[in-house]
Amino acid sequence: MMTINDVARLLKENDDILILSHHFPDGDTLGSAYALCGALQIMGKRARVECSDEIPNKFLFIKNSVEIQQFEPKYIVSADVADSKLLGSLCEVYGNKIDLCIDHHSRNTSFAKQSYVEGDSAACAEIMYLIVKELINEIPKSIADCLYTGVCTDTGCFKFSNVTARTHKIAAELIALGCDHALINKVMFDTKSRSRIALEKAVLDNLKFEYNGLCATVVLTRDMIASSGAVEDDIDGISSLPRQIEGVAAAVTLRELDSGAYKVSLRTDNALNAAQIAVGFGGGGHAAAAGCTIKDSRENAEKALLNAIGNALKEQNMI
C-alpha cells in the first residue's frame, strides 16, 4: 500500500508532469488536478492539466489559477478518475500510459501503473490537499480555492453522508489559508441558470402524487428540455426535486431519451428497495437509488412503474 508520502516522493522525483481530469469535468476532478498542477509549478516543475471536455464557465477560475505550459509529458497523473474509460476521448491517447492514479472511488479499476486510492475520502480534493501539503510549504489562496471547490462540490456543501470529521478539518484549514468559501458556495450552490428555472417550472407543472403522497413522479420530455434550453448540469439538479418532498417514499423521474425510450431514476427511503423495483425493468442499483430504461410510451412507462411501486408499498403494508 502506498502512502501520501510515497505519492509526494514520486511527484518530487518526476518532471514535465501531465495531469488528467475525467470527462464531463466536475469541481472535484478539476479542483484536484489544478491544485496539483499549481503546486508542481510552484516547485519549479513544468506541469499542465488536460481534460477531454470543455470546462464549464463556473470552473474557469480553477483553470486560470495556473500558468499555461507546453511540453512533452514524461510523467502522467490522473485525478479523480475511477476507470481509464472516464478519460473520454483522452483514453485512446493516454489510457494505458498513466503512471500514477490519485482517486477516492472504491470501485477504481487500477488502470494505472501505480495507484493511491482512498475509498472513504469524501472528495479527491481531500487527498490532494494532503499531497500538496507535502509538496510545498505555503499553500497560496489560488490552490486553496481549487481544493475547497473540490471538497464542497463532491459533498453537496458538506451535506452528504460521505462527509467525515477529516472533511471538515480540511475545510477549516483551507479557510485559514484564505479560500473564498462564501463566493465559491454562492456560485456552486446558490446560482441557477434561467434554463434551469424554466425546466423547474415545466417539471412542477407535471409533478404528480400517487398512493396518498407516498409516490411522486416527474417527467422530463425532449420538448421540455429543448424549449427550456437546459444543459446536463441543469437536468442533474432537477432529478433531485421529487425526492425532497416531505412524505414521499418513492420518487420517480422519467427522462425521455433521443431514442424515445424513458430513462428512469428511482429514489426511495428506507422502507422500499429501489434496486428490487428497477430489476423488474431490467435495471439495477442500490437500495435507495436505482435506475432502468423503459422502451415504451410515456403513459405505459408511468403506469408500469406506478404498479410496481404500488406492489412494493403493499408488501410493506404502507397502503
Residues sharing a CB contact under 8 Å with residue 12, sequence separation 6 or more, in sequence order: 43, 135
How many alpha carbons fall within 13 Å on the CB side of residue 204? 8
Query: Residues 120-139: x/- map of binding to a second copy (CB under 8 A)?
Result: --------------------
- Asked if 160 touches a second copy (CB under 8 A), the answer is yes
Binding flag, residue 213, a second copy (CB under 8 A): yes
Min dist CB 146 to a second copy, Å, is 17
Q: List binders of a second copy among 162-201 (CB under 8 A).
A: 163-169, 171-173, 175-176, 181-182, 185-186, 189-194, 197, 200-201
Residue 207 or 287 with smaller CB distance to a second copy: 207
The only residue of 16, 209, 233, 319 in contact with a second copy, by rule CB under 8 A: 209
Q: How far is the CB of 177 from a second copy (least distance, A)?
A: 9
Shortest separation between residue 239's beta carbon and a second copy, angstroms? 13
316: which residues sit within 8 A by CB, 6+ positions away? 271, 272
Query: Does 204 sit near a second copy (CB under 8 A)?
Result: yes
C-alpha to C-alpha distances, 51 to 9, 87, 116, 119, 198, nearest whole angstrom: 25, 7, 20, 23, 30
Determine the 3-state secondary structure of 292 from DSSP.
Answer: strand
Nine-digit cell at 187?
A: 456560485
Q: Is residue 168 within 8 Å of 158, Cβ to Cβ?
A: yes
Residue 218 vs residues 280, 296, 311: alpha-carbon distances, Å: 20, 16, 20
Nearer to a second copy, 71 or 160 (CB): 160
Binding site for a second copy (CB under 8 A): 152, 157-161, 163-169, 171-173, 175-176, 181-182, 185-186, 189-194, 197, 200-201, 204-205, 207, 209, 213, 240, 243-247
